[in-house]
Chains A and B, each alone.
Chain A
Amino acid sequence: AQKVTQAQTEISVVEKEDVTLDCVYETRDTTYYLFWYKQPPSGELVFLIRRNSFDEQNEISGRYSWNFQKSTSSFNFTITASQVVDSAVYFCALSEGLNAGNNRKLIWGLGTSLAVNP
């Protein structure tokens, strides 16, 4: 069965530290997509990145980077030189593959709450 595990419930760092948020997934599909969302204290859910199962290249966007490793079924998210504005809950999610047909749903991790302290 598909599953997403974010083992870190809460992380606290001091500003300018680098921090990595872990995401481990389980799926039997060969075609799947992984997502990261950010939920700041204001409450909205903001899409950050989508990665497909055939593309293992790391992705970098400013201070954010993502490391996708199929061998370990992980899709980890690193924030470099963290800032207070990065404080949020971060969710990792897995999209069921082609076998899902019309039942297109996301499998969500429980989220990691990141606190960046000044």
Chain B
Amino acid sequence: DAGITQSPRYKITETGRQVTLMCHQTWSHSYMFWYRQDLGHGLRLIYYSAAADITDKGEVPDGYVVSRSKTENFPLTLESATRSQTSVYFCASHSGPTPKETQYFGPGTRLLVL
């Protein structure tokens, strides 16, 4: 019954450091997504993946890297963190390619870049 989990839940880092946010889902969903949530901007899509080894950019991909070697995991890496990447990051997943699919979200990771 784990669903979708994210780790860490909270992270403080410094400008220039590499940070990886983990996302794991137990449903074997094909599609996975990374969003960032900032005041005034709502939810913005960073990257998404339709299946293992298939990833694509969303609205705000700059400064982020993703990989999807296994269906259940979709890590998000900030290669060189900047203050503007301070945000709350949500991972989500759904099972299929049709528009009816409901996205289910992880609990979020609060990231502070000093």
Contacts and interface: CB of A to CB of B under 8 A. Distances in A.
A3 to B, nearest CB: 12
Contact of B107 (A37, A43, A52, A100): A43
Contacts of B97: 101-102, 104
B88 interface: yes
Contacts of B56: 103
B3 to A, nearest CB: 11
A86 B54 CA distance: 38
**Chain B at the A interface: mostly helix, strand, loop or mixed?**
strand
A91 B42 contact: yes
A85 B101 CA distance: 27
Interface residues of A, number: 29
B45 A105 contact: yes
Interface residues of B, number: 27
Interface in B61-110: 88, 90, 92, 94, 97-105, 107-108
A30 B90 CA distance: 29
A64 interface: no
A43 B88 contact: yes
Contacts of A47: 102-105
Interface stretch (A18-26, A65-73, A74-82, A108-116): A108-116
Given A95-B99, A104-B31, A104-B99, A45 B42 contact: no
A52 B100 contact: yes
A7 interface: no
Given A102-B50, A104-B97, A105-B48, A50 B42 contact: no
Given A96-B99, A104-B97, A44 B43 contact: no
Given A44-B107, A47-B103, A91-B43, 20 more contacts: A29-B99, A31-B99, A33-B100, A35-B103, A43-B107, A44-B105, A44-B108, A50-B102, A95-B100, A95-B101, A102-B54, A104-B48, A104-B50, A104-B94, A104-B101, A105-B33, A105-B58, A108-B42, A109-B42, A110-B40
14 contacts: A37-B105, A43-B88, A44-B107, A45-B105, A45-B108, A47-B102, A50-B100, A52-B100, A97-B99, A100-B99, A101-B97, A104-B48, A104-B94, A110-B42
